[in-house]
Amino acid sequence: MRFDNHIVLALDDLAGDGAVEVARQLAHGLDAIKVGYPLVLTEGLAVVDRLSRVAPVICDFKVADIPAVSAMIVQRAVRAGASGVIVHGFVGHDSVAEAVAAAEGMDGFAVTEMSHPGALDYLQDRSEEMAAMAREAGAAGIIAPATRPERVSALRGIVGTDMVILSPGVGTQGGSAGTTIRAGANAVIVGRSLYRSPDPPAALQALLDDMMA
Amino acid sequence: MRFDNHIVLALDDLAGDGAVEVARQLAHGLDAIKVGYPLVLTEGLAVVDRLSRVAPVICDFKVADIPAVSAMIVQRAVRAGASGVIVHGFVGHDSVAEAVAAAEGMDGFAVTEMSHPGALDYLQDRSEEMAAMAREAGAAGIIAPATRPERVSALRGIVGTDMVILSPGVGTQGGSAGTTIRAGANAVIVGRSLYRSPDPPAALQALLDDMMA
- pLDDT, one tens digit per residue, over A44-89 is 999 999 999 999 999 999 999 999 999 999 999 999 999 999 999 9
Query: Contact B26/B54 with Cβ under 8 angstroms?
Result: no
* Residues 85-104 in B contacting A (C-alpha not used; CB under 8 Å): 88-96
- ipTM, two decimals, is 0.95
Domain tally, chain A? 1
Q: What is the C-alpha separation between B110 and B134, in angstroms, rounded?
A: 6
Half-sphere exposure of residue A129, counting CA atoms within 13 Å on the CB side?
A: 11
Confidence at residue B103, expressed as pLDDT on a 0 to 100 scale: 95
Half-sphere exposure of residue A16, counting CA atoms within 13 Å on the CB side?
A: 12
Q: What is the C-alpha separation between B124 and B79, in angstroms, rounded?
A: 33
Q: Could you report the per-residue pLDDT of A106-137, keeping only the tens digit for each?
A: 999 999 999 899 999 999 999 999 999 999 99
Confidence at residue A173, expressed as pLDDT on a 0 to 100 scale: 74
Predicted model pTM:
0.96
> Which residues of A are identified as catalytic?
62
Q: What is the C-alpha separation between A145 and A123, in angstroms, rounded?
A: 13
Confidence at residue A4, expressed as pLDDT on a 0 to 100 scale: 93
Element (DSSP H or E) covering residue A88? strand A84-88
The answer to the question of residue A19 being in a domain is: yes
Q: Could you list the residue range(s) of the whole structural domain that residue A158 is in?
A: 7-212
A41 closest CB neighbour out of B73, B92, B130: B73
Residues of chain A contacting B11 with CB distance shorter than 8 Å: none
User: Does any CB of chain A come closer than 8 Å to the CB of residue B27?
Assistant: no
User: Does any CB of chain B come closer than 8 Å to the CB of residue A32?
Assistant: no
Nearest CA to B137 out of B157, B167, B106, B110 is that of B110
Q: How many CB atoms lie within 10 A of CB A81?
A: 19
Q: How far is CA B61 from the centre of its chain?
A: 10
Statement: residue A146 has pLDDT above 90? no
Statement: residue A95 has pLDDT above 80? yes
The answer to the question of residue B1 being in a domain is: no
Residue B94, domain CATH: 3.20.20.70
Q: What is the C-alpha separation between A132 and B155, in angstroms, rounded?
A: 31
Confidence at residue B56, expressed as pLDDT on a 0 to 100 scale: 98
Nearest CA to B9 out of B49, B51, B47 is that of B51
Determine, for residues B117 and A133 on separate chains, whether the beta-carbon distance falls below 8 Å. Answer: no
Residues of chain A contacting B80 with CB distance shorter than 8 Å: 41
Determine, for residues A69 and B118 on separate chains, whether the beta-carbon distance falls below 8 Å. Answer: no
Q: What is the C-alpha separation between A132 and A158, in angstroms, rounded?
A: 6
Statement: residue A94 has pLDDT above 80? yes
Statement: residue A148 has pLDDT above 90? no
Query: Contact B193/B204 with Cβ under 8 angstroms?
Result: no
Dihedral sign computed on CA atoms, order A182, A183, A185, A191: negative
Determine, for residues B92 and A38 on separate chains, whether the beta-carbon distance falls below 8 Å. Answer: no
Confidence at residue A184, expressed as pLDDT on a 0 to 100 scale: 96
The answer to the question of residue A99 being in a domain is: yes
Nearest CA to B163 out of B146, B139, B184, B179 is that of B139
Query: Contact B40/B48 with Cβ under 8 angstroms?
Result: yes
Determine, for residues A122 and B120 on separate chains, whether the beta-carbon distance falls below 8 Å. Answer: no
The answer to the question of residue A89 being in a domain is: yes
Q: Output DSSP code: residue A138.
A: T
Determine, for residues A91 and B123 on separate chains, whether the beta-carbon distance falls below 8 Å. Answer: yes
What's chain A's Rg over C-alpha atoms? 16
User: Does any CB of chain B come closer than 8 Å to the CB of residue A192?
Assistant: no
Confidence at residue B33, expressed as pLDDT on a 0 to 100 scale: 97
Per-residue confidence in pLDDT tens, chain B, 213 aa: 999 999 999 997 777 788 899 999 999 999 999 999 999 999 999 999 999 999 999 999 999 999 999 999 999 999 999 999 999 999 999 999 999 999 998 999 999 999 899 999 999 999 999 999 999 999 999 999 888 899 999 999 999 999 999 999 887 777 889 999 999 999 999 998 999 999 999 999 999 998 887
The answer to the question of residue B2 being in a domain is: no
The answer to the question of residue A2 being in a domain is: no
Q: Could you report the per-residue pLDDT of A5-46, keeping only the tens digit for each?
A: 999 999 977 777 888 999 999 999 999 999 999 999 999 999
State the pLDDT confidence band at A175, using cuts at 50, 70 and 90: confident
Residues of chain B contacting A124 with CB distance shorter than 8 Å: none
The answer to the question of residue A127 being in a domain is: yes
